[in-house]
């Protein structure tokens, strides 16, 4: 059971892609998830970082200019685990560690000595299925071809696609998001990963299996110039997920939104002048941003709507409160303002923690 879903999704194997497609028949979209890796961004000199960021901007712009692309999601998350293979090998190969070196290695592999975590980055791309051909194998092949081109374009940003998730990989990824602790315990034991039988949504949190989650919305991005790696404190948080979604807007729709906002600002300016109020710097910055966006659209660039979401996971409410405090501190370090969502934790968790490229806000 996945919280926030009104109807189940279909999984269709795409042999041409080497992965699985998540079909939303109701929305008419197909989503595939690519595991992505990069090399040493934090250790690069500023010039190399700038080159990589510009390359990613070109990749994102190229992907979102395709008319069939509905949404692109970048999910950077930290999940517990990672030492299960080493512990399993140790149990199979070593019976009784009696010498000091073996005892020290056994202690290092023990949960009481270290709490291992694993970080990964997933890229989910949702594309629109051809109308009238949502059950056609040819349409699935066409979607697979488009997604394969997305993976090939990542080389422009010095990123590597480590393969599209297959059915097993996707289900495991969803399970790790819903109940990370259960997946770790299953890795340590002989049995398979247990399915999450249900989820309970509360006013400001969500309980799934043995884990509890809280999802935040990034309602304010940095206003001033920041370092290219300004999101590092949020990405490196323990047992959390940062999801940034880019949704392409048509030029006509984007221009309508910009002009509507400019009319509202003009009306507010007239009202302030009538009342003798002074225009503040924040308002001037918003107007300047609208002018910049309009100029870029007129010049032929694509407009994207970005949404940032954060999910914090923990085994209990007490630990969740501690991790939420740490995450809010990390957000302040990143010059971002976050707001804990209430009354919609189910659909917010679906968009923030699961690599399904679903937008709700």
Show me where the domains of the chain are located: 10-81+116-353, 82-115
pLDDT above 60 (res 1): no
Read off the pLDDT of each residue in 240-252 and give the average, rounded to a whole number: 89
Task: Give the 3-state secondary structure of residue 11.
Answer: strand
pLDDT interval class at 356 (50, 70, 90)? very high
Q: Long-range contacts for 205-209 (Cβ within 8 Å, ≥24 apart)? A: 205/317, 205/320, 205/345, 206/3, 206/345, 206/346, 206/349, 208/3, 208/178, 208/179, 209/178, 209/179, 209/181, 209/182
pLDDT tens readout for residues 12-33 = 998 888 899 999 888 889 999 9
338 band by pLDDT with thresholds 50, 70 and 90: very high
How high does pLDDT run on average in the chain? 84
Secondary structure of residue 178 in the 3-state scheme: helix
| pLDDT: which is higher, 191 or 48 | 48
Residue 359 CA to residue 346 CA, distance in Å, equals 13
The residue among 154 and 98 whose pLDDT is bigger is: 154
Structure confidence at residue 121 as a pLDDT band (50, 70, 90): very high
Q: Which of 35-39, 96-100, 237-241, 357-361 has the highest mean pLDDT?
A: 35-39
pLDDT at 22: 93
Both tokens of residue 295? Answer: 């100029």
Please tell me the pTM assigned to this model. 0.85
Per-residue pLDDT at 136 exceeds 80: no
**Rounded CA separation 128/68 (Å):** 5
Tell me what percent of the residues of the chain surpass a pLDDT of 70.
86
Residue 312 pLDDT > 90: yes
pLDDT at 350: 93
- Whether 197 shows a pLDDT value over 70: the answer reads no
- Ranges of beta strands (E only) in 190-314 are 199-201, 206-208, 211-220, 240-249, 303-314
> What span, in angstroms and rounded, lies between the C-alpha atoms of 74 and 199?
24
The predicted structure's pLDDT at residue 245: 94
Question: Is the predicted pLDDT of residue 242 greater than 90, yes or no?
Answer: yes
The pLDDT value given to residue 43: 83
At 210, the pLDDT band (50, 70, 90 cuts) reads: confident
| Distance (Å, whole) CA 183 – CA 108 | 21
Q: Is pLDDT above 60 for 335?
A: yes
């Amino acid at each position: 059971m996945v919280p926030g879903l009104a109807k189940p999704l279909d999984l269709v194997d795409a042999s041409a892609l080497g992965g699985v497609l998540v079909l939303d028949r109701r929305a008419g979209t197909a989503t595939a998830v690519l595991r992505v890796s990069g090399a040493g961004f934090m250790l690069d000199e500023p010039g190399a970082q700038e080159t990589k960021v510009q390359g990613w901007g070109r990749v994102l712009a190229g992907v979102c200019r395709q008319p069939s692309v509905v949404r692109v999601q970048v999910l950077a998350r930290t999940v517990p685990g990672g030492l299960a293979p080493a512990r399993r090998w140790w149990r199979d190969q070593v019976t009784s560690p009696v010498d000091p070196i073996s005892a020290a290695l056994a202690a290092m592999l023990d949960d009481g000595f270290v709490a291992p975590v694993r970080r990964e980055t997933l890229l989910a791309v949702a594309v629109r299925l051809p109308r009238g051909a949502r059950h056609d194998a040819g349409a699935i092949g066409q979607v697979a071809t488009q997604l394969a081109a997305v993976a090939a374009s990542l080389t422009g940003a010095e990123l590597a696609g480590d393969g599209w998730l297959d059915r097993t990989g996707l289900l495991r990824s969803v399970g790790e998001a819903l109940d990370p602790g259960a997946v770790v315990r299953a890795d340590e034991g002989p049995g398979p990963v247990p399915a999450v039988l249900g989820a309970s949504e509360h006013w400001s949190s969500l309980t799934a299996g043995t884990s509890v989650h809280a999802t935040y919305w990034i309602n304010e991005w940095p206003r001033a110039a920041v370092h290219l790696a300004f999101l590092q404190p949020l990405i490196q948080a323990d047992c959390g997920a940062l999801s940034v979604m880019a949704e392409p807007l048509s030029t006509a729709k984007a221009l309508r939104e910009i002009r509507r906002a400019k009319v509202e600002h003009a009306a507010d300016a007239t009202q302030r002048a009538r009342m003798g109020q002074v225009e503040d710097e924040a308002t001037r910055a918003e107007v300047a941003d609208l002018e910049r966006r309009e100029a870029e659209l007129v010049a032929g660039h694509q407009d994207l709507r970005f949404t940032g979401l954060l999910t914090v996971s923990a085994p209990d409410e007490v630990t969740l409160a501690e991790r939420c405090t740490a995450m809010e501190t990390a957000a302040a370090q990143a010059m971002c303002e976050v707001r804990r969502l209430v009354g919609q934790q189910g659909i917010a968790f679906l968009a923030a923690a699961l690599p399904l490229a679903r937008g709700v806000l």
